[in-house]
Structure 1
Amino acid sequence: MPWSTRELAELAGTTVNTVRHYHQLQLLPEPERRVNGYKQYGVGHLVQLLRIRRLVDLGVPLGQIEALSTGGAEAPDALRAVDDDLAQRIEHLQQAREDIRAILDGSAPADGPRGFEAVASRLSVADSSILHIYSQLYDEDALADLRTMVEQDIESEIESAFQSLAPETDEAARIALAEQMAPGLAQHLVDYPWLNDPTSRLSKSEGVTQATFVEAVVELYNEAQLEVLGRASVLARALLAERGIVLPEPRLPGAVPDPS
């Protein structure tokens, strides 16, 4: 008994549009038509459609189905490639589930920087943005250190004062805040020496990192905040020098990935 396109699709557990798509790709041959012009599919078409669906269910791209259907010598290699791709997709999905759990556990915004879910809801827009950018510039070890620093500093009054710093803040207040920030920054430089020379922790080239960093901080932080960060950095180095710790000039000027 011949089947219509709709009947064939239902038997194979797919849709009429999918059957027509397979015709367009020449994976499924066009059947003969009845006198009334309707297609009539036979057992051979059903079997071929089921074979195609089997390969699709395995994750085989449509462009490789014809080669695999012939059972040639390249079939095992093609299947191994599909298996590798599936393994990567599974790993990605597992990571996505872990990230979602962290977001829910931390009541964090879904679009916050990955790995900072525990503090994401307390980050300023600027800090959240810069951490997103850092995630593309620095390696996982550097990001782990950044997480520790942010978690240590997020609740401090100094951090709150820095975030609320307005462009019109007077010079005396800027100097006072920089002096308050300097000891913490100095300690970060001692605890995480790579902050002074992050070249070994980059995931992008030095040129791209520096250009991106400078562009980002200038746009994300106001003039007063930038001035305070600069003063605090100079004061932090002076404090370390008093302790006999002299740091070399950074190889990436200004590229100290410390959002606090």
Structure 2
Amino acid sequence: MAWSTREIAELSGTTVKTVRYYHEIGLLDEPGRKSNGYKQYEIHHLLQLLRIKRLTELGVPLARVADMEADPDGQAPVFQVIDAELAATVERLQNIRRELAVLSSPGARPDVPPGFTGVTGNLRDNDRKLLMIYAQLFSDESMEAVHRILGDHPNDGLDEEFRDLPEDADEATRQALAERLAPLMTPASAANPVSLDPRGPADAARAAAGHALEALYHRAQLDVLRRAHRISAGTVPSSGAERPGTRHTG
């Protein structure tokens, strides 16, 4: 028994266009033809199509299907690579589901990094924006440390004082606040256990963090940070990045 292109496509669960494409790329054997020129597909063509369909549904690229036909012993590595990719996809989807569950709870916010919803209640809009940028620029380990600090609320009063600083704050007010902030800017100290390690090139991360600070905080706040940095000079580069709240290091 022989089938036409339409019939073999229907039997194999594919389309006429796909069957023709498999011919074009040499993946499917050309069938014989009747005297009138119509193609005649046989059982082995159906088996070829079913095998191609199964492999592609498993994620095997068409470019590898022919190789696997020619070298059955080389199939295992291909399947192992696909399995590893699927495992990574499953993990990513599970993480997304966990985050969606968190965001579905009352009071949850999508404008903070994953996992930070429960510790950012006291942050203001500009702090949350900076936190989002930091999560992109700095390592997971660094952000875990930031998360712990935010959860502990060690300097809530000083945080609020910095956030409430008016843009026209006088010299004495700025200097006094800078002196109180300076001890919190020394990295790897008891007062500031957070060390921000960039994900990529350090200069690019610091430059991006610096631009973010200039965009998100007003002149008086930036002046206080610069003063605090100068007080703790020699411990943090002048282009250093800042953590949302009072533990700024720049």
- Fold equivalence (TM over 0.5): yes
* Change over 3 Å in CA distance of 1:18–1:146 after alignment to 2: farther
- Paired positions, count: 244
Match of 1:244 in 2: none
Match of 2:217 in 1: 221
**How far 1:210 sits from its partner (Å)?**
2.2
Match of 1:230 in 2: 226
Tell me if structure 2 keeps the 8 A contact 1:9–1:16: yes
Cα distance in 1 for residues equivalent to 2:15 and 2:172: 69
Match of 1:253 in 2: 238
Match of 2:170 in 1: 171
Secondary structure of 2:220's match? Answer: helix
Cα distance in 1 for residues equivalent to 2:170 and 2:243: 23
Cα distance in 1 for residues equivalent to 2:20 and 2:81: 27
Secondary structure of 1:105's match? Answer: coil
Tell me if structure 2 keeps the 8 A contact 1:106–1:118: no
- Structure 1 unaligned residues grouped into runs of 5+: 238-246
Matched, 1:56 2:56: yes
**RMSD between aligned alpha carbons?**
3.9
* TM-score under structure 1 length normalisation: 0.71
Match of 2:248 in 1: none
User: For residue 235 of structure 2, what is the amino acid of its counterpart?
Assistant: E
Deviates more, 1:147-156 or 1:19-28: 147-156
- Structure 2 unaligned residues grouped into runs of 5+: 246-250
**How far 1:68 sits from its partner (Å)?**
1.0
Which structure has more helix as a fraction of its residues? 1
Identity of aligned residues (%): 33
* Change over 3 Å in CA distance of 1:122–1:193 after alignment to 2: closer
* Change over 3 Å in CA distance of 1:87–1:176 after alignment to 2: same
Cα distance in 1 for residues equivalent to 2:16 and 2:125: 49
Secondary structure of 2:117's match? Answer: coil
What's the CA shift string for 1:70-115, capped at 9, x where partnerless?
Answer: 2344333233222222222222222222222232236534464223
* TM-score under structure 2 length normalisation: 0.73
What's the CA shift string for 1:198-239, capped at 9, x where partnerless?
Answer: 4xx33323222222222222233332332233345567x5xx
